[in-house]
Amino acid sequence: MHNNMKPKIYVLVGVPASGKSWVCSQLREQYHHLAHDEYARDAYVAALKSAAQGNRPILAEAPFNAADLVAKLRMSAIPTEQILVTAPLNTITARYYERNGKDYPANFRTNHGRYEADSSRFWFSGTSSQVVDKLKGLL
């Protein structure tokens, strides 16, 4: 990467328990990752912009409005791509139950359906393993 080029930010989008955090854990040696739950929303955007001044590509998670996050990064001329991390609904609901001890909320199910129906708007879409393979292949 040339010194004057900003690293690309890959924004991982998906419903809770889709595998976004797992993807980040698998790529922590190759990519700079900022965990979204360590920041308030505006502070997360600022932290991502700051990280973009470095020389490693960045993984960001978008548990909230991904379009808003991407728009803010692109307004700062930071190259950004959205990646949908998905899995079959029965896999996601089982992961969620195992993690939280309760059923998957109805609005999460609705969001899962929306993402699946509109997956073509993402730069890449796949299971967590497929996303890891894709991102490793970019290096």
Domain at 123, CATH number: 3.40.50.300
Asked if residue 1 is part of any domain, the answer here is: no
Q: Is 4 among the domain residues?
A: no
Please indicate, yes or no, if residue 3 is contained in any of the structural domains: no
Q: In this predicted model, what pLDDT tens digit does every residue of 5-64 receive, in sequence order? A: 668 999 999 999 999 999 999 999 999 999 888 898 789 999 999 999 999 999 999 866
In this prediction, residue 5 carries a pLDDT of 60
**pLDDT at position 99, please?**
94
Domain assignment of residue 34, given as a range = 9-137
Q: DSSP labels for 89-105?
A: HHHHHHHHHHHHSSPPP
**What pLDDT, on the 0 to 100 scale, is given for residue 42?**
82
Rg for the chain, CA atoms, rounded: 15
The per-residue pLDDT for range 66-109, each reduced to its tens digit, is: 888 999 999 999 999 999 999 999 999 999 999 999 999 999 99
Assess if residue 127 is contained within a domain.
yes
Q: Return the closest-CA partner of residue 99 out of 21, 28, 34.
A: 21
Number of separate domains in the chain: 1
- The phi, psi pair for 4, rounded to 5°, reads -90, 0
* Residue 116 falls inside a structural domain: yes
Q: Which of 104, 83, 127 is CA-nearest to residue 16?
A: 104
